[in-house]
Chains A and B, each alone.
Chain A
């Protein structure tokens, strides 16, 4: 990785962009997700099932990242906020205008519940040498995202592999 900019090399292993979610976990988005995937799991629809099995309402575990995506617009914000900022920092610093996610691993911890206020941070784990794929020429990178609740319990950890690239002419 000798040709990697010094600044990018310095990000590897660094805890970056620690933040609290913009809003409390809420059931409205749970319904949006369940409706979008036609998910009838009674944990999200039947209060008795939720009380008996999970000690109350929970959110679908795979919604973890949704609780942190900034909204499309907010008053006073001049630049559009980006989720997974390290990914966008890499695109910019490495001059790679397009990007896709290729791998995603999620490990689930304590259930996330309506009313929770979660915190998160991102750690860049690695950046590959330049590679050529059918999309174009670019680099792969691995970013880990940690998620904890207001009590400090781990609610999950995600690992993303991204490929930033320039379309071949």
Chain B
């Protein structure tokens, strides 16, 4: 396994773009994601139900699995010392089998709080072609330098 990146706050600037990520979605992607999240609702594994009851064209990615994809996207960029503090997302449209989902992101703000924790505020987007399916904002703690580790913060030292 290659040595993972460990992004420090000093290397991040406002306006930086996160490396894009593209994933081809299959029915398996949708079903694996739903079952991993223990989401047994039929619109995430039963196409007839999704079409007849939800009025959509196919099964679609569930919300908690989208959160897990965004987490993976952010920590691919930060490496394991990035610690998510907050994540908010709005589903605008669904992601279906056959779609190529593309993640992109931008650093909106970087700074340290009163406890000395360094944060990057990100705006993230999940799109299929020119259709934005999910908008996400995330706040991730980054180490100030190679000796710092946001995972060691507890109680009053952790204010996401």
Contacts and interface: CB of A to CB of B under 8 A. Distances in A.
Nearest to A107: B86
A105 B37 contact: no
Q: How big is the B interface, by class?
A: 35 or more
Interface stretch (A1-9, A10-18, A66-74, A122-130): A66-74
Nearest to B82: A41
Interface string B24-40: 00000100110111111
B81 interface: yes
A33 interface: yes
A36 B88 contact: no
Given A35-B32, A101-B63, A104-B67, A53 B90 contact: no
B51 interface: no
B15 interface: no
B38 A29 contact: yes
A109 B84 CA distance: 9
Interface string A44-70: 011001000111000011110110010
B113 to A, nearest CB: 14
A37 B65 contact: yes
A100 B91 contact: yes
A42 interface: yes
Nearest to B138: A106
A107 B160 CA distance: 7
A102 B90 contact: yes
A61 B91 CA distance: 20
A135 to B, nearest CB: 8
Nearest to A101: B63
Given A63-B68, A66-B37, A108 B85 contact: yes
A72 B1 contact: no
Given A102-B90, A107-B85, A109-B158, A63 B151 contact: no
A101 B29 CA distance: 20
A79 interface: no
